[in-house]
């Protein structure tokens, strides 16, 4: 009997993991771009109209965001790119995450008494990992695009010279980092006016950025990672107290990884594998929730179960997750239904489980920045890209003559077991610093594939990225559109601190009281979070819709454009 069973399993095994049929009933009638800044969305639409595909448009959007949203991402940072290549039906995850410099060491952010020095891991040269975004631009263009970089980078180069208007989000984020930026002359020259945050509407130009992009357009990524330019970058970082070497830059490569994919409620979810924690946590949470039939439950009992699932997934993040090229990350186990059943067995339907009752990492939360954009083209190519310099305006360091900020992604490592990072996240050995290692990330670019709808989504928000994507997926699976997913109110639990945090609109007073009665430490904040960007293709009609997060009023832009049909 067992043998027959084994044979049956073997025979049917290929079917179990088989992809849902992806051939579109009706190809997208239009392209769609949603990004956190209207200049960047327009750059993407321009490239689609010129005959570029979604990947060329992604180059344009990425490079433009680096200019007009310098608080969130740029050439000095990194990111994850989830791509669907329509012509061969392939999904690929491009890991352009920063790497720890080769001279980095596990305890580099501990002082003599062994205490974590948060300033060192977030401000200045030591905080910077080796950037991945310039390599990602070349990779996108050469492997997947149709246009040369000189064309896809042209809108960003033009805008850097003609100038762009400083907006409310640039100003709000700069407010938090003004002192650090003011202390760095090259950064102050780029982003401050008379030492102050520029007035909204101020015309900003960045000739150095235009020249850096022209160099990448001419020489590809080598123009950045090798030769004179690399020497200048390394010298600038070392002068500021950093440890980069030319080998760090010359050795940097993006890594293509298989995306994580799983099924839920008749949908296929394609999402980020490690070194993102996002996909694993999404799979754990949804597997835990599946048998409850949560989608039909009332809001309070449903929220309670969702929070209990979040708590457990974030505990696992803290204990097990890190760069898979360095740490043994048990992905198949953590994403299996059997494992979820074990977690579910410990959940009470009535009472919150205190986080300190879950075996894990002990410890004790954020002013974040990062950016996400979603693109679809009329060939059915999809791009979900989350890119970052980590905290607003990264490490506030600009190497003179380059035109961009460096990141402070080193703070995404666990600088000491159990000591929370800027997002209150704790970690252990799996995410300890090592030379050449990628810090664990929460960035979760994701595709939701249903029978008649395909959605591309993601958001910034540090540790809350995963739970925001989760809530966006709920909205989409419940039948909501792209805008509804971006609008949906947000709540979050990350194991430690043991708090159920929520946006002001997420719960009524009555709902909050009922959740407190179940033992949740409900913390309703006075601010909203995230910046979700969603595009959706209706496979039955070919219609494309785009949704942009309303929380930064009028700064982002989601647009489906007939311009894209010009080349069809
Ligand atoms: O990779 C990560 O998880 C973080 N560096 C992302 C930071 C972030 O989203 C800040 N955003 N609002």
Q: Which atom of ligand 1 is nearest to the CA of 465?
A: 9
Ligand 1 pocket test: pick from 72, 278, 318, 465 the residue with the most ligand atoms within 8 Å of its Cβ: 465
Q: Which band of pLDDT confidence, cut at 50, 70 and 90, is reported for residue 26?
A: confident
Q: What is the mean pLDDT of residues 482-500?
A: 97
Q: Which band of pLDDT confidence, cut at 50, 70 and 90, is reported for residue 149?
A: very high
Q: Is residue 425 in contact with ligand 1, taking CB distance under 6 Å? A: no
Q: Whose CA is nearest to atom 1 of ligand 1?
A: 441
Residue 303 Cα to ligand 1 midpoint, Å, equals: 24
Q: Whose CA is nearest to atom 11 of ligand 1?
A: 369
Listed residue (137, 54, 61) closest to 454, CA to CA: 54
What are the two backbone dihedrals, phi and then psi, of residue 137, each rounded to the nearest 5 degrees? -60, -45
Q: Is residue 386 in contact with ligand 1, taking CB distance under 6 Å? A: no
Q: What is the mean pLDDT of residues 414-422?
A: 90
Q: Which band of pLDDT confidence, cut at 50, 70 and 90, is reported for residue 246?
A: very high
Q: Which band of pLDDT confidence, cut at 50, 70 and 90, is reported for residue 326?
A: very high
Q: Is residue 145 in contact with ligand 1, taking CB distance under 6 Å? A: no
> Is this model's pTM higher than 0.75 or not?
yes
Q: Which band of pLDDT confidence, cut at 50, 70 and 90, is reported for residue 351?
A: very high
Cα–Cα distance for residue pair 59/153, rounded to 1 Å: 7
Q: Whose CA is nearest to atom 9 of ligand 1?
A: 462
- Angstrom distances, CA of residue 382 to CA of 156, 501, 534: 21, 32, 11
- Angstrom distances, CA of residue 243 to CA of 103, 127, 128, 239: 6, 10, 9, 9
Beta-bridge mates of residue 374: 34, 384
Greater confidence (417 vs 281) lies with 281
Predicted confidence (pLDDT) per residue in 264-305, tens digit: 999 999 999 999 999 999 999 999 999 999 999 999 999 999
Cβ-proximal residues to 183 (8 Å cutoff; 6+ apart), any chain: 396
Predicted confidence (pLDDT) per residue in 524-563, tens digit: 999 999 999 999 999 999 999 999 999 999 999 999 975 4
Answer whether 38's CB lies under 8 Å from 67's CB.
Answer: no
Q: Top-level CATH class of 2-24+257-366+443-552? A: alpha beta
- Angstrom distances, CA of residue 426 to CA of 64, 71, 321, 435: 33, 24, 11, 20
501 sits in which H/E element: strand 500-502
Q: Is residue 395 in contact with ligand 1, taking CB distance under 6 Å? A: no
**Around 451, how many Cα atoms within 13 Å sit in the side-chain half-sphere?**
2
Q: Is residue 132 in contact with ligand 1, taking CB distance under 6 Å? A: no
Mean pLDDT of the chain: 93
Residue 52 clears pLDDT 50, i.e. is over it: yes
What are the two backbone dihedrals, phi and then psi, of residue 223, each rounded to the nearest 5 degrees? -60, -20
Share of the chain above pLDDT 70, in %: 93
Structure-block tokens of residue 240: 């500021």
Q: Is residue 532 in contact with ligand 1, taking CB distance under 6 Å? A: no
Residue 2 Cα to ligand 1 midpoint, Å, equals: 48
* Sheet of 500-502, strands arranged across: 491-492, 500-502, 522-524
Domain boundaries, the chain: 2-24+257-366+443-552, 32-254+369-431
State the alpha helices, DSSP H only, in 321-429: 331-334, 337-345
Q: Which atom of ligand 1 is nearest to the CA of 529?
A: 12
Find how far residue 387's CA is from the centre of its chain.
6
The catalytic residues are 370
Cα–Cα distance for residue pair 136/462, rounded to 1 Å: 21
At residue 424, the pLDDT reads 87
Q: Whose CA is nearest to atom 5 of ligand 1?
A: 390
Q: Is residue 156 in contact with ligand 1, taking CB distance under 6 Å? A: no
Predicted confidence (pLDDT) per residue in 201-241, tens digit: 999 999 999 999 999 999 999 999 999 999 999 999 999 99
At residue 51, the pLDDT reads 96
Residue 402 clears pLDDT 90, i.e. is over it: yes
Ligand 1 pocket test: pick from 278, 370, 552 the residue with the most ligand atoms within 8 Å of its Cβ: 370
Three-state secondary structure of 208-250: HHHHHHHHHHHHCCHHHHCHHHHHHHHHHHHHCCCCCCHHHHH
Cα–Cα distance for residue pair 396/386, rounded to 1 Å: 20
Q: Whose CA is nearest to atom 6 of ligand 1?
A: 462
Residue 467 Cα to ligand 1 midpoint, Å, equals: 13
Q: What angle do CA 294, 298, 300 make, to 5 degrees?
A: 95
Based on its alpha-carbon atoms, the radius of gyration of the chain, rounded to whole angstroms, reads 22
Residue 439 Cα to ligand 1 midpoint, Å, equals: 11
At residue 367, the pLDDT reads 43
């Amino acid at each position: 009997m067992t043998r027959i069973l084994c044979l049956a399993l073997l025979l049917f095994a290929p079917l179990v993991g088989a992809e849902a049929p992806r051939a579109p009933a009706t190809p997208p009638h239009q392209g769609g771009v949603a990004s956190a800044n209207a200049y960047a969305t327009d750059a993407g639409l321009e490239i689609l109209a010129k005959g570029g595909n979604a990947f060329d448009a992604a180059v344009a959007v990425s490079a433009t965001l680096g200019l007009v949203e310098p608080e969130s991402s740029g050439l000095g940072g990194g990111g994850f790119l989830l791509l669907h290549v329509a012509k061969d039906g392939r999904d690929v995850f491009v890991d352009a995450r920063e790497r720890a410099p080769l001279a980095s060491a596990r305890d580099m952010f501990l002082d003599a008494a062994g205490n974590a020095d948060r300033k060192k891991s977030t401000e200045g040269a030591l905080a910077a990992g080796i950037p991945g975004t310039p390599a990602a631009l070349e990779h996108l263009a050469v492997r997947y695009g149709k246009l040369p970089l000189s064309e896809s980078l042209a809108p960003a180069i033009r805008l850097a010279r003609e100038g762009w208007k400083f907006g409310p989000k640039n100003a709000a984020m700069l407010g938090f980092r003004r002192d650090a930026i003011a202390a760095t002359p090259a950064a102050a020259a780029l982003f401050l006016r008379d030492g102050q945050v520029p007035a909204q509407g101020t015309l900003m130009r960045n000739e150095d950025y235009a020249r850096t992009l022209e160099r990448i357009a001419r020489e590809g990524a080598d123009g950045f990672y090798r030769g004179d330019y690399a020497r200048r970058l390394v010298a600038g970082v070392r002068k500021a107290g950093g440890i980069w070497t030319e080998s760090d830059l010359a050795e940097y490569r993006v890594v293509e990884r298989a995306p994580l994919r799983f099924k839920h409620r008749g949908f296929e979810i394609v999402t980020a594998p490690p070194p993102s924690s996002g996909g694993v946590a999404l799979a754990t949470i949804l597997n835990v929730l599946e048998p409850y039939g949560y989608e039909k439950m009332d809001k309070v009992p449903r929220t309670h179960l969702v929070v209990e699932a979040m708590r457990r997934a974030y505990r696992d993040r803290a204990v097990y997750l890190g760069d898979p090229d360095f740490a043994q990350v048990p992905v198949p186990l953590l994403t299996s239904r059997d494992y979820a059943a074990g977690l579910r067995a410990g959940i009470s339907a009535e009472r919150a489980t205190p986080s300190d009752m879950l075996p894990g990492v002990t410890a004790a939360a954020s002013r974040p920045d990062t950016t996400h954009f979603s693109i679809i083209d009329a060939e059915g190519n999809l791009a979900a890209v989350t890119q970052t310099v980590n905290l607003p305006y990264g490490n506030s360091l600009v190497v003179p003559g380059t035109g961009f900020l460096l990141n402070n992604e080193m703070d995404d490592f666990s600088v000491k077991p159990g000591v929370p990072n800027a997002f209150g996240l704790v970690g252990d050995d799996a995410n300890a610093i090592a030379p050449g290692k990628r810090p664990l990330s929460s960035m979760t670019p994701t595709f939701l594939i249903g029978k008649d709808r395909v959605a591309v989504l993601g958001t910034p928000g540090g540790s809350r990225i995963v739970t925001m994507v989760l809530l966006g997926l709920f909205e989409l699976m419940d039948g909501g559109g792209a805008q509804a997913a971006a609008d949906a109110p947000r709540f979050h639990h990350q194991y430690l601190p043991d708090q159920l945090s929520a946006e002001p609109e997420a719960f009524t007073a009555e709902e909050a009281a009922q959740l407190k009665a179940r033992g949740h430490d409900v913390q309703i904040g006075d601010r909203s979070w995230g910046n979700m960007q969603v595009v959706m293709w209706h496979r039955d009609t070919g219609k494309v819709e785009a949704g942009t997060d309303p929380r930064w009023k009028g700064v982002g832009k989601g647009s489906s454009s007939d311009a894209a049909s010009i080349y069809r």
